[in-house]
């Protein structure tokens, strides 16, 4: 998952919320250092003797300082806002408007994004409370700026003047357009009464969204399972315990969806009936849960109509690669047609298994509750036999890979006392062979109580050019000098001169959160499962995008790009794990006797699962289409059933309503197709660019120059077409979307992370 809090000015103002054997056999001192840092339990016990505050900010040495920093940021942000509002008095100031809007955005995001991390990672409840306070205070100010007519009018004055537009670099112009589009999506040019209605709709959406997400994760009622239905369960231990429990109580067992017992039944019960009951229970909804989702969808639709868009999808997609919902469906329909044959073949395999299991004379229908039983889980495995992969080994391999591709290495660095929020956190410097230090990665990799679950990449700080800021012209407010000084000092820590590059830059800083098992003296270093290796590669793909995406404007830096483009670098990183040359980078002395890939056999459920994800992406488009308001009988349950019964592989089960658990409908509303879209592009890039020679520096440099370095400052279609030498894609029209839909998604077995 890419964890994003702030994106572009109004999105910031409205929180939306990466010959072989010869190279591999020589271990550098940096390799040894990485191994030592990550594989030694002692590495996670002793901080450096020097003292600092969070991320080197001296004032952030205690929780109350976080609240004080938020106050200082608000004062300075208001001063800069006033400067922008007065810009029409001077043409020189109008020339600086886009730069100052980006500065204002960065000023707020620097604290907001830091607060978001601390809310999810810090073990001290006082720090978490302070971060929540700072977060809410700055978000409130963002809401004011979100519909600030004065800011909109100043930007309009700049973009309406051809002489001023000519002064903008392509990157600056792209940044200005991001501000402009987001202002327009916020009803900025509507009368006050309608702007107030927009604010009301936005507030309602947040409330309904929180309620919907709560419903999505809420426990479902139990299924009543008869004791006799449990005969023959493969897991004899738990199966026997359940049967003994049933015999003792002399009544049906109540099994809750999501429990270990429920998973065992779905995967191991030979009889269909308990699996059917369990499936229906797991996919049930109350009327209130369905009603909450439908209110959310209708409120979104009303907000879109208020600002002159046909639907929420039309409003959301106009600044994405897809541009329109029609183009999304061009992609999904092409992908569905391309995937259907293999998915149906896989379904026949499951049907044959079911036929043999029940000794039937003909192929039976595969039902929704059959999928887990006839697709027994197989843990993901590497394509060649490997020794145990420790955390240090994998980070060493990542550093070697980046050195081959980009001339970039990872170097462990000491952190001062107070610089990190937990002794588990390791600091890595990202070193470019020409430019030296280009950023930092803080790795918080081990599970602990109170820490957010899952894996995520947090952009705590974006790249941005700072030597042209002209801060002295911002002015001052009498009585607030100390607060302004505090905010200025906070920003100074972030700035560096980079060798062989003009100007002074704010260096990017990212944090990786994972939940691996920590090393210990008794058990030794952390050994990663293959799925965990893939997860780490995925998140490091985001991290390197942040490091290499060096732009002058933070709104388009690194991962601040289109939603349907942002996962491309991370998914592509997973493909590198399919290469023997890359896997050999994990070893200090070179693997012995490894010559061939192991096939492992193709899991037929991969294509079924891909097809199911295409259906979910289609459902997301239907739920955000004009029909939500135009069709008086619109029903989310009916649309779900209709889609599965007309285009699906497995029949919809009457009485079920999975849509209330489809949590991505909130965070990825109208953009759930994005991950499939980036999977298709990443598969193509791997196949055509990297597969034959994955460590080729020229290819890595091409990828860096054509894609990674631009962040969101360049049209993604232009970047992809240049990388693939496919000029027919450059305009990103309906035909380009269909073409991507025809590409084979060749990442079966990859992590499938968002």
Distance, CA of 466 to CA of 450 (rounded, Å)? 36
Residue 455 falls inside a structural domain: yes
Distance, CA of 374 to CA of 355 (rounded, Å)? 11
Residue 130 falls inside a structural domain: no
Q: H/E element holding 723?
A: helix 716-724
User: Which of 423, 427, 425, 424 has its CA nearest to residue 410?
Assistant: 427
Of 534, 557, 580, the position where a domain reaches its end is 557
Between 500 and 676, the higher pLDDT residue = 676
Name the average pLDDT for the chain. 88
Measured at the CA of 538, the angle between CA 534 and CA 541, to 5 degrees, comes to: 140
Q: What is the pLDDT of residue 736?
A: 96
Distances (CA, A) of 540 to 7, 138, 367, 379, 399: 20, 29, 38, 22, 10
Please indicate, yes or no, whether residues 408 and 535 belong to a single structural domain of this protein.
Answer: yes
Of 282, 307, 329, the position where a domain reaches its end is 282
**Residue 501, pLDDT above cutoff 90:** no
**Residue 436, pLDDT above cutoff 80:** yes
Q: What is the pLDDT confidence band of residue 19, given thresholds at 50, 70 and 90?
A: very low
Between 479 and 527, the higher pLDDT residue = 527
Please indicate, yes or no, whether residues 271 and 397 belong to a single structural domain of this protein.
Answer: no
Please indicate, yes or no, whether residues 553 and 409 belong to a single structural domain of this protein.
Answer: yes
Radius of gyration of the chain (CA): 27
Q: What is the pLDDT of residue 690?
A: 98
Q: What is the pLDDT confidence band of residue 425, given thresholds at 50, 70 and 90?
A: very high
Helices 170-184 and 149-159, axial angle in degrees (round to 10): 140
Between 423 and 14, the higher pLDDT residue = 423
Residue 360 falls inside a structural domain: no
Q: Look up 539 and say whether it is catalytic.
A: yes
Classified as helix, coil or strand, 223 is: strand
Q: In what order do the strands lie in the sheet with 509-516?
A: 2-3, 456-461, 509-516, 436-446, 426-432, 408-413
Say which range, 335-339, 497-501, 717-721, has the weakest mean pLDDT: 497-501
User: Which of 575, 573, 577 has its CA nearest to residue 745?
Assistant: 575
**Catalytic pick among 491, 532, 539, 552:** 539
**Model confidence pLDDT, tens digit, residues 275-299:** 999 999 999 999 999 999 999 999 9
Highest mean pLDDT (candidates 187-191, 249-253, 716-720) = 716-720
**Residue 681, pLDDT above cutoff 60:** yes
Please indicate, yes or no, whether residues 277 and 401 belong to a single structural domain of this protein.
Answer: no
DSSP string, 79-106: HHHHHHHTGGG-HHHHHTHHHHHHHHHH
Range of the domain at 272: 221-282
Please indicate, yes or no, whether residues 400 and 523 belong to a single structural domain of this protein.
Answer: yes
Q: Give the residue ranges of DSSP H helices in 307-455.
A: 312-317, 325-358, 371-374, 391-406
Of 495, 528, 557, the position where a domain reaches its end is 557
Contacts 24+ apart (CB under 8 A), 629-633: 629/298, 629/301, 629/302, 629/305
Q: What is the pLDDT of residue 567?
A: 96
**Model confidence pLDDT, tens digit, residues 600-616:** 445 678 899 999 999 99
Residue 243 falls inside a structural domain: yes
Residue 545 falls inside a structural domain: yes
Instruction: Tell me the CATH number at 478.
Output: 3.40.390.10
**Model confidence pLDDT, tens digit, residues 551-564:** 999 999 999 999 99
* Tokens coding 453: 């679950």
Please indicate, yes or no, whether residues 395 and 544 belong to a single structural domain of this protein.
Answer: yes
Distance, CA of 615 to CA of 668 (rounded, Å)? 15
Please indicate, yes or no, whether residues 411 and 547 belong to a single structural domain of this protein.
Answer: yes
**Model confidence pLDDT, tens digit, residues 480-496:** 778 778 877 887 777 78
Residue 480 falls inside a structural domain: yes
**Model confidence pLDDT, tens digit, residues 237-272:** 555 666 666 666 667 889 999 998 999 899 999 999
Q: In what order do the strands lie in the sheet with 464-465?
A: 464-465, 504-506, 495-497
Residue 496, beta-bridge partner list: 505
Q: What is the pLDDT of residue 589?
A: 61
**Residue 412, pLDDT above cutoff 60:** yes
Distances (CA, A) of 214 to 288, 292, 661, 662: 12, 11, 9, 11
Please indicate, yes or no, whether residues 411 and 552 belong to a single structural domain of this protein.
Answer: yes
CA 356 to chain centre: 42
Please indicate, yes or no, whether residues 540 and 402 belong to a single structural domain of this protein.
Answer: yes
Please indicate, yes or no, whether residues 400 and 271 belong to a single structural domain of this protein.
Answer: no
Residue 600 falls inside a structural domain: no
Q: Are 464 and 506 in contact (CB under 8 A)?
A: yes
Its pTM stands at: 0.91
Q: What is the pLDDT of residue 325?
A: 98
Distance, CA of 323 to CA of 420 (rounded, Å)? 41
**Residue 171, pLDDT above cutoff 80:** yes
DSSP string, 506-567: EPPEEEEEEEEPPPBTTTBSPBPPHHHHHHHHHHHHHHHHHHH---SSGGGSTT-S-TTTTT
Number of domains making up the chain: 2
**Residue 578, pLDDT above cutoff 60:** yes
Q: What is the pLDDT of residue 26?
A: 53
**Residue 15, pLDDT above cutoff 50:** no
Q: What is the mean pLDDT of residues 672-681?
A: 96
Q: What is the pLDDT confidence band of residue 182, given thresholds at 50, 70 and 90?
A: confident
Please indicate, yes or no, whether residues 271 and 401 belong to a single structural domain of this protein.
Answer: no
Residue 457 falls inside a structural domain: yes
Count CB neighbours of 353 within 10 A.
17
DSSP 43: G
Helices 236-249 and 260-268, axial angle in degrees (round to 10): 110
Q: What is the pLDDT of residue 698?
A: 98
């Amino acid at each position: 998952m890419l964890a994003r809090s702030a994106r572009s000015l109004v999105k910031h103002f409205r929180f939306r919320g990466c010959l072989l054997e010869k190279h591999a056999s020589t271990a550098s001192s940096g390799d040894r250092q990485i191994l030592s840092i990550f594989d030694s339990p002692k590495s996670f016990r002793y901080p450096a003797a020097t003292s600092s505050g969070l991320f080197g900010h001296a004032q952030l040495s205690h929780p109350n300082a976080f609240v004080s920093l938020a106050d200082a940021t608000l004062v300075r942000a208001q001063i800069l806002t006033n400067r922008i509002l007065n810009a029409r008095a001077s043409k020189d100031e109008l020339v600086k408007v886009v730069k100052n809007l980006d500065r204002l955005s960065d000023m707020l995001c620097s604290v907001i994004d830091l607060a978001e991390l601390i809310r999810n990672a810090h073990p001290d409840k006082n720090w978490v409370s302070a971060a929540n306070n700072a977060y809410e205070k700055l978000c409130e100010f963002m809401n004011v700026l979100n519909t600030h007519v004065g800011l909109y009018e100043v930007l309009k004055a700049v973009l309406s003047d051809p002489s001023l537009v000519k002064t903008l670099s392509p990157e600056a112009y792209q940044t200005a357009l991001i501000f402009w589009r987001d202002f327009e999506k916020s009803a900025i040019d509507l009368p006050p009464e309608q702007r107030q209605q927009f604010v009301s709709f936005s507030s309602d959406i947040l409330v309904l969204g929180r309620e919907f997400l709560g419903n999505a994760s809420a426990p479902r009622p139990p299924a009543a399972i008869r004791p006799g239905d449990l005969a023959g369960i493969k897991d004899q231990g738990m199966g026997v315990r359940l049967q003994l429990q049933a015999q003792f109580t002399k009544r049906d067992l109540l099994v809750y969806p999501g429990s270990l017992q429920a998973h065992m039944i779905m995967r191991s019960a030979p009889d269909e009936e308990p699996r059917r009951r369990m499936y229906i229970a797991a996919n049930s909804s109350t009327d209130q849960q369905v009603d909450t989702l439908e209110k959310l969808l209708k409120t979104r639709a009303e907000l879109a109509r208020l600002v002159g868009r046909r639907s929420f999808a039309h409003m959301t997609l106009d600044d994405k690669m897809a541009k329109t919902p029609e183009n999304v469906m061009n992609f999904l329909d092409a992908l569905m047609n391309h995937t259907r044959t293999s998915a149906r073949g896989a379904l026949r395999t499951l049907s044959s298994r079911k036929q043999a299991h029940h000794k039937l004379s003909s192929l039976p229908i595969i039902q929704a509750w059959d999928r887990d039983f006839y697709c027994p889980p197989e843990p993901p495995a590497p394509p060649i036999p490997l020794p145990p992969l420790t955390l240090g080994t994998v980070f060493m391999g990542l550093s070697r890979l980046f050195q081959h591709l980009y001339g970039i290495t990872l170097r462990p660095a000491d952190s001062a006392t107070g610089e990190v929020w937990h002794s588990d956190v390791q600091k890595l410097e990202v070193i470019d062979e020409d430019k030296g230090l280009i950023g930092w990665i803080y790795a918080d990799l081990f599970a602990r109580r109170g820490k957010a679950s899952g894996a995520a990449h947090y952009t705590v700080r974006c790249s941005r050019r700072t030597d042209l800021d002209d801060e002295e012209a911002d002015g001052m407010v009498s009585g607030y000098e100390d607060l302004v000084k505090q905010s200025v000092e906070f920003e100074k820590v972030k700035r560096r001169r980079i060798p062989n590059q003009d100007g002074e830059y704010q260096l990017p800083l990212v944090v990786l959160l994972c939940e691996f098992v920590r090393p210990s003296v008794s058990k030794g270093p952390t050994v990663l499962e293959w799925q965990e290796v893939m997860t780490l590669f995925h998140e490091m793909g985001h991290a390197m995008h942040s490091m290499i995406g060096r732009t002058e404007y933070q709104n388009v830096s690194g991962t601040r790009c289109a939603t349907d483009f942002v996962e491309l670098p991370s998914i592509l990183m997973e493909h590198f794990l399919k290469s023997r040359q890359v896997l050999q980078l994990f070893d200090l002395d070179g693997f012995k006797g490894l010559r061939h890939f192991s096939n492992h056999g193709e899991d037929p459920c991969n294509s079924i699962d891909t097809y199911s994800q295409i259906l979910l992406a289609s459902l997301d488009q239907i739920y955000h289409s004009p029909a939500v308001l135009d069709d008086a009988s619109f029903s989310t349950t009916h649309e779900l059933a209709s889609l599965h019964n007309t285009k699906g592989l497995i029949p919809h089960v009457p009485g079920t309503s999975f849509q209330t658990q489809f949590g991505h409908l909130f965070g990825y509303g109208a953009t759930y197709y994005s991950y499939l879209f980036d999977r298709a592009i990443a598969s193509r890039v791997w196949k055509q660019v990297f597969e034959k020679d994955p460590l080729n520096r020229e290819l890595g440099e091409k990828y860096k120059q054509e894609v990674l370095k631009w962040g969101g400052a360049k049209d993604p279609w232009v970047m992809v077409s240049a990388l693939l030498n496919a000029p027919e894609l450059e305009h990103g029209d309906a035909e380009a979307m269909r073409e991507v839909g025809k590409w084979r998604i060749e990442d079966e077995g990859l992590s499938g992370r968002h």
